Amino acid sequence: MALVVIGLILLLLKLAGASAVAGWSWFIVLAPFPLAIAWWGLSDMTGRTARKAMEREDQRKEKRRQEAMSKLGTGPRRD
């Protein structure tokens, strides 16, 4: 996601003609976009995306379980 944001910022600076970015090659300005695509592809191939989604789901389930236990009054004892 950071590469997409960097690419958008560079693109806007290039189109606006701002500072040193206006003199840069279009190849350099647009380079973050293919890098982002490559990163997402690599992330999917290695299973990182699925692991992160499972971790988020597990955290959501645990939070929901803790809230339910708290409402039932069966949460951890406080001495």
Answer whether residue 74 is part of any domain.
no
Q: Is residue 75 part of a domain?
A: no
pLDDT by position in tens, the chain (length 79): 899 999 999 999 999 987 788 889 999 999 999 999 999 999 888 988 888 889 999 999 999 998 888 888 876 665 5
Number of domains into which the chain is organized: 1
Look up the pTM and report it. 0.63
pLDDT at 73: 81
Q: And the tokens for 67?
A: 């809230």
Neighbours of 43 (CB within 10 A): 14
The confidence score (pLDDT) of residue 61 equals: 95
What is the residue range of 51's domain? 2-69
Whole-number mean pLDDT of the chain? 88
Q: Would you say residue 78 lies in a domain? A: no
Instruction: Report pLDDT for 56.
Output: 94
Give residue for tokens 């910022």: 9
Number of alpha carbons in the 13 Å side-chain half-sphere of residue 42: 6
